[in-house]
Amino acid sequence: MSEEQNLSTKEIENKENNNKYLEYRKSRVKRIKRFLIIALIISILIPNVLCIYLLIRVNSLQNMLDSLSEQLNYIEELKKANLEAMNKADEQKLVEEIEEEEVIVSDEILYPGKKLVYLTFDDGPSKFTDDILDILKQYDVKATFFVLAKEGYDSQYQRMIDEGHVLAIHSYTHQYKTIYESVSAYRTDVTDMKDFLSSRYGYDARFYRFPGGSSNQVSQVDKNELFKVLDDENLCYVDWNVSSQDASAKKLSAESIYQNVIKGVESHNSSVVLMHDAADKSTTVEALSMIIEKLLEDGNVEILPISEGTDFARHVLPSEKE
């Protein structure tokens, strides 16, 4: 019995041990299962969370990129607009500069190989102005009139303009002593005459001839001061290199005047011819047709009015000290 008892106690112990072992196994399997499930869940969750996080990140970066590229485009457009504006401004500036810079082409270049003759008449208008204008019209020749301010000659001033001649300033009073007394007296004479032509006939004179020429000995004032006045008034002064000598003390015949002009013209390629449009110069009018006919006979001569492209035949130059 005791042995039997012993056996059964052992069996019971064994059974208990077995049970314990089984329970232990069970709980272990359970733990492993739980661990595996958790590991599975984690292994699924983490990449998903990471994916979502990365997607959000990518999205925000994409937005940032979009906004940056928009800004870049805007900057590029601004740069382009600026460049275009600058180019336009440069172009405009260049055009203005070209316009400002008067390009003067000399008559010598305009009429290559030609002998150039400029017929000029001082001291008009006079009772002979219409005759002179008629002759010029007859030959279709344009001349230059260095006029004074005179009453009662409106139609003559107007004819000179209408018929395409150049009106230029000679003097308002033609009183040498008064004009050359001082710089201010000189300026007054010049501006009075300029105003006379512009206010009465709407004519903007560009050329000027000194009474007595730029080499006159009457002026006590430094010539450079006078040149400056002309500069201020936007006037170019013109002298002459061929004189008809029709203002000589002794009245010349038409033939002498004609000879003087033709001889003078022969020795110059560009001749500024001095003649007078005055009440006592009837022989000048008589000589005029002969002179023009002779000049036109020579097919190589071009009779022109004074322009910016003319060689002004100056006696004294602005830079020269007297």
Q: Which residues bind Zn ion (CB under 5 A)?
A: 122-123, 211
> Cα–Cα distance between 185 and 67 in angstroms, integer?
75
Q: Is 107 a known active-site residue?
A: no
Question: Would you say 107 or 209 has its CB closer to Zn ion?
Answer: 209
CB 160 within 8 A of CB 200: no
Q: How far is the CB of 94 from Zn ion (least distance, A)?
A: 44
* DSSP helix/strand/coil, 144: strand
Q: What's the length of the chain?
A: 322
**Rounded least distance, CB 210 to Zn ion, Å:** 9
- Give the separation between CA 156 and CA 99, rounded to whole angstroms: 34
Query: Taking the CB of residue 108, how many other CB atoms lie within 10 A of it?
Result: 15
In the complex, the smallest distance separating the C-beta of residue 314 from Zn ion, rounded to whole angstroms, is: 17
Q: How far is the CB of 232 from Zn ion (least distance, A)?
A: 22
Residue 200 makes CB contacts below 8 A (sequence gap 6+) with 154, 157
Residues paired with 237 in a beta bridge: 208
Nearer to Zn ion, 120 or 307 (CB): 120
Q: How far apart are CA 321 and CA 224, in angstroms?
A: 8
Q: Of residues 107, 165, 170, 276, which has the active-site annotation? A: 276
Residues 314, 239 contacting (CB under 8 angstroms): yes
Q: How far is the CB of 260 from Zn ion (least distance, A)?
A: 17
Indicate if 276 belongs to the active site: yes
Instruction: Pick between residue 250 and residue 321 the one whose CB is nearest to Zn ion.
Output: 250
Of the residues 122, 123, 246, 277, only one is catalytic, namely: 122
Closer of 10 and 251 to Zn ion (Cβ): 251
Based on CB atoms, which residue is closest to Zn ion, 124 or 305?
124
b/e burial code for range 209-225 (CB count within 10 A of at least 16 → b): bbbebbeeeebebebee
Contacts of 290 (CB under 8 A, 6+ apart): 254, 258
Question: Which amino acids are annotated catalytic?
Answer: 122, 276
